[in-house]
Each structure stands twice: as structure tokens, then as C-alpha cells.
Amino acid sequence: MPAAQDLTSTPSWRALGDHYAKVRDSHLRQLFAQDPQRGTKMTAEGAGLFLDYSKNRIHDDTLGLLVKLADEAGLRGKIDAMFRGDKINITENRAVLHTALRLPRGATIMVDGENVVPQVHAVLDKMGAFCDRVRKGEWKGHTGKRIKNIVNVGIGGSDLGPVMAYEALRHYTDRNMTFRFVSNVDGIDFVEATHDLDPSETLFIISSKTFTTLETMTNAQSARDWLLKGLGGDAKAVAKHFVAVSTNAKKVSEFGIDTANMFEFWDWVGGRYSMDSAIGLSTMLAVGHAGFREMLDGFHTMDEHFRTTPFQKNLPVIMGLLALWYSDFFKSETIAVLPYEQYLKRFPAYLQQLTMESNGKHVTLAGKTVDYLTGAVYWGEPGTNGQHSFYQLIHQGTRLIPCDFLAFNHALTPLGRHHDILIANVLAQAEALAFGKTADEVRKEGTAEALVPHRVFEGNRPSNMIFADRLTPGVLGALVALYEHSVFVQGAIWNIDSFDQWGVELGKALAQKIIPELEAPAEPNLAHDSSTSNLIRRYRAGRR
Ligand code: G6Q
């Protein structure tokens, strides 16, 4: 494997640079016209997902050249190292084993001399037993009432996955239960999430890997106060209305939650890779034990596809390589993820953390500043809403924005012609982006000459189309694993640490310093820059 700083001088990178000079000027109109098989040939399938990548700005040999880069960057060995449990998160000296969370019972993965799979299943069994009791109404609140409301309190990786999964799997949830998610330290988040809930019927899940996160601990304390106020102040109520998901038993017990009601996970599960660990407790409460297992099986099927499929047919590898192709050769800045499935409305927000916290890095594993672009900005909204807002820029703006479209054969609850109309739209968008409309075509429609330039669509805007039969828990698992591994592929080639997140630390530390400066009764001595100090003084004056 080349030293990281040499990535751009490897033969495969140089070959891609030369190749890009040719591909850059090819139009998808031309590429499709030259090869009538392109739309069926440039496809791959795995774990219930079908990927059509034919509308990308690639030639027949592009993927092969990208695979050579992956080979030269040691992708095979890096995949094996991750699945084996090597400590590939080097800045935190941790294994990266979210794939162990979805292994079947009986599998073996050793971390520090211990097989972790039995631990994973012991926690899953404990979660299953707990969820059954709550769902059947056997777990009673302090006053003897059945628990009807679940409030997950967590942030970042301890929130985004649970929120996304709850919304995505809403069709499968117990509609007699209410699920809410509190993450922001802005008190409004808590106030709005609980304003119509009866404390005697409400269970809080305090989800925090470290159990020290400022936002979560602040919200957890407010939850405790809210509950006790609503239930007459008896501290014994906490045991019936709070459970914890954490790696930190000591802090959980200090908060007053019995560790018997703590669901454990491990330091080899990164926050943004944890929705399939005990962090998914709210998901399991919503869809039941069997639904959660089905989701884990979907993850696992994609893991196996990723681990065993040759790169040229490997969905996460293809998607990861294409993302890198656009970032590093076309210098595109962003990737839009556009689900044509309302239940996936939070999927782009979830992906923002997965992709950007993982690959938003500017140094290699060896600490050298990279001389290529790393992680793209991911963003998106569900179709068709985006079509009536930001798609304009994708169609006719000056930036290249590769798109991932997600669509399904079946609506979960069919309603008249809605689904056909929805799917017609996603297909039309991908077609319009790729092929556009020429000036001649516009003229033929009788458009006045002055308007012709405005109505031309250049086309040649690339997209992936990901299709599945319907959004089941298993398909959701496969979809998340697809992106997890696509992120891995990119990070592996860029030779960065996709599993740490030091970039979130500085702001956290500064906030801790500013809190007492805002709250001090006497005017504090401020040693910030003139802008920050002035803003602190203004805030203090405004609060007087
Ligand atoms: C994710 C990050 C981060 C983390 C939150 C919450 O990969 O590490 O988003 O999940 O900061 O952390 P806790 O779970 O420890 O509260």
C-alpha cells in the first residue's frame, strides 16, 4: 500500500487523472447512444437493493481504473482488517466492529482475546425481554399505569439513527404507543416533546455512550425534574420511568438509574454506527423484537455482500468509488440523497452525520495534510418536494451535484395512483438530469428565441438510482449498511481515520468556558477575541 501522502502519485491515481481528461468532455447522451446496453449493463444487485449507475459520467473502463486505485490503496486488506476487529480507528486505538452487532448467534469475532458475539446477543436478548414487557403492558409506571410514551434522550449518534429508523419503520410500529426524540440542548426540544404527555405513562431512554454529553445530561436532568414534578416528587418513580443505554455503568448509576435497567454497548461501536446496537432500543420498542432482528439481518446481508463480492459488482465499493471520482476528479463539492419514499424523510439528515463526521478529515492516518479532497457534503430532502425547490440548481445551475435517488416498487400503504406518479417523477428527474434538452429541441417546441437559452437543459448531470421492492426493516438495514461501507471505501482510499471525530471537540470545550461567563452575577473578565467578548457582553446586557 502506498504511503498516504503518495496517493496522488500512485500509477492508478495518475491513470485516473489522464482518463478524467477524456471523460470530462463526454456527454451522457453520447455515451448512451453509443451503447444501447449501457442501462442494463451498468447495474449491480445485492442484499435486496438494485443499483443502476449507468447515468454516471463514466466510460466502460472507468470503474476498472477506480478499482485499480482501490487495489493499490489496499482496500481488500482494510476491509478484512475491519471485519476481523483490528484496531483500525488508530487515533482512539479502537476496533471498528459495528458489523459484529448484526452477526448471527454463534458467530465469532475476537476483540482483545474475547469473543464479542455472545455479549452482543446477551444485550439483544435483554432488550427483547424488556421490549416485550413494555409492549405487552407488563412494565408498569410508578402509579401502576401502562407505559404508552417513549422519549429517547440523546444526541448525534445517540439520536439521529433512532429518529431516522423510527420514521422509516413507522408503518411497522405499534400505533398505540407514542415515540418522541429529544436531542437539542435548546429547552424547547424537551418542552415540545413532552407538553402533551402524561408522566405516569412515559418512559425515558437516556441514550449516551459516554453518559457525560452536556446536551443529553441537561435534558436527562430536566426529564427527571419533569417526571418527579408530575408524579408528586417520589424519587422511587425514576426506576420505573428511566432506562439507560450506555457504555458507562458508573455514570448511569450516579444519575440514579439502576444498572439492571441499563443496556450496554461497547467502545468498538462508534456513535454514528450505533443504531443497530442498544442505541436502537426505541426502534425495538416501536417495531418489536422480530422487526429489529429483521433489520439486523438486512445489515448483515449487506455486510456479507460487501465482504465477499468482487469490487466490480460490489454495491458499496461502486458507490464509494463513484463518490470519490466526483470529489477528487470533477472536484464536485456535494452529493444529494433524494429518497422517493416519505418514510425516509430523515434519511438524508442521518447520512449527513454518517458521511461527514466520518470523512470530514484533512490529515491521513499518519497525520499528513492531504493534497486531495476528502468527504463530500451530503444533503437532501424527500422527493417530490425537492423538485419544487432546489432541483432547479441541480438541473440548470453551474455546479455539478451527483444525486443518489432511492425508490421502491411498492408503497407500504397504496393510495390510488400516488405511487405510480411518485415513481414516474423519480425516473423523469434522473432522465432529465442526464439527457437534458438541447437548444434545437427547445426551438422545435416553438419557444421564442430570446427564451431559448433559459429553457435549455445541458444535461450530463450524474445520478445513481437505488431501487428495492419495498421499505422493510431488512431493506432499511441493507440501505444503511450500504452507506456505512461506501463511507468506509472512500476513507480507506483517502487513508484517513473515518471513525474518530476530533473536530467536534473544540467548540464543546469553548462552550464549557462560556457558560459561566454568561451566568456569572458579576461582570466577568473576558479574554476572548473582541467579537466573542462583545457578543457575550451584549447577551448579558440583553438578559438584565
Ligand atoms: C458519533 C459521535 C457523536 C456522539 C454524540 C453523543 O459518532 O461520536 O455524534 O454520538 O456526541 O455522544 P454520547 O452517546 O456519548 O452522548
Catalytic pick among 388, 444, 449, 505: 388
Predicted pLDDT at 1: 45
Name beta bridge partners: 465: 52, 405
Query: In 215-360, where do the E strands start and end?
Result: 242-246, 262-264, 334-339
215-242 pLDDT, tens digit per residue, is 999 999 999 999 999 999 999 999 999 9
What phi and psi values does residue 286 have, to the nearest 5 degrees?
A: -75, -45
CA–centroid distance, 499 to ligand 1, in Å, is 12
Predicted confidence band of residue 6 (pLDDT cuts 50, 70, 90): confident
Q: What would the mean pLDDT of 177-197 be, rounded to a whole number?
A: 98
How far is the C-alpha of 18 from the C-alpha of 409, rounded, in Å? 40
Q: What would the mean pLDDT of 50-73 be, rounded to a whole number?
A: 98
CA–centroid distance, 529 to ligand 1, in Å, is 29
- Is 513 a known active-site residue? no
- Is 357 a known active-site residue? yes
CA–centroid distance, 410 to ligand 1, in Å, is 35
Question: Which of ligand 1's atoms lies nearest the C-alpha of 215?
Answer: 16
Nearest CA to ligand 1 atom 2: 271
Catalytic pick among 357, 381, 484, 517: 357
CA–centroid distance, 505 to ligand 1, in Å, is 11
CA–centroid distance, 297 to ligand 1, in Å, is 25
Predicted pLDDT at 140: 97
Residue identified by cell 443518489 is: 404
128-140 pLDDT, tens digit per residue, is 999 999 999 999 9
Predicted pLDDT at 4: 44
Q: What would the mean pLDDT of 103-108 be, rounded to a whole number?
A: 96
Residue whose CB lies within 8 A of the most ligand 1 atoms, among 206, 209, 269, 499, for a mutation test? 209
Residue whose CB lies within 8 A of the most ligand 1 atoms, among 98, 210, 355, for a mutation test? 210
Q: What is the pTM of this model?
A: 0.97
509-538 pLDDT, tens digit per residue, is 999 999 999 999 999 999 999 999 999 999
Q: What would the mean pLDDT of 16-42 be, rounded to a whole number?
A: 98
376-395 pLDDT, tens digit per residue, is 999 999 999 999 999 999 99
Predicted pLDDT at 318: 99
Strands 49-52 and 43-46: antiparallel
Average pLDDT, the chain: 97
Look at residues 283, 143, 138 and name the one whose alpha carbon lies nearest to residue 207: 283
Question: Which of ligand 1's atoms lies nearest the C-alpha of 213?
Answer: 16
CA–centroid distance, 429 to ligand 1, in Å, is 36
Decide if pLDDT at 3 tops 50: no
Decide if pLDDT at 5 tops 50: no
Residue whose CB lies within 8 A of the most ligand 1 atoms, among 272, 279, 281, 361, for a mutation test? 272
Look at residues 36, 20, 51, 30 and name the one whose alpha carbon lies nearest to residue 459: 30
Cβ distance 334 to 373 under 8 Å? Answer: no
Question: Which of ligand 1's atoms lies nearest the C-alpha of 156?
Answer: 9
Chain centre distance of CA 495: 21
Predicted confidence band of residue 482 (pLDDT cuts 50, 70, 90): very high
- Is 508 a known active-site residue? yes
Which residues form the pocket of ligand 1, taking CB atoms under 6 Å from any ligand atom?
155-158, 208-210, 213, 216, 270-272, 357, 501
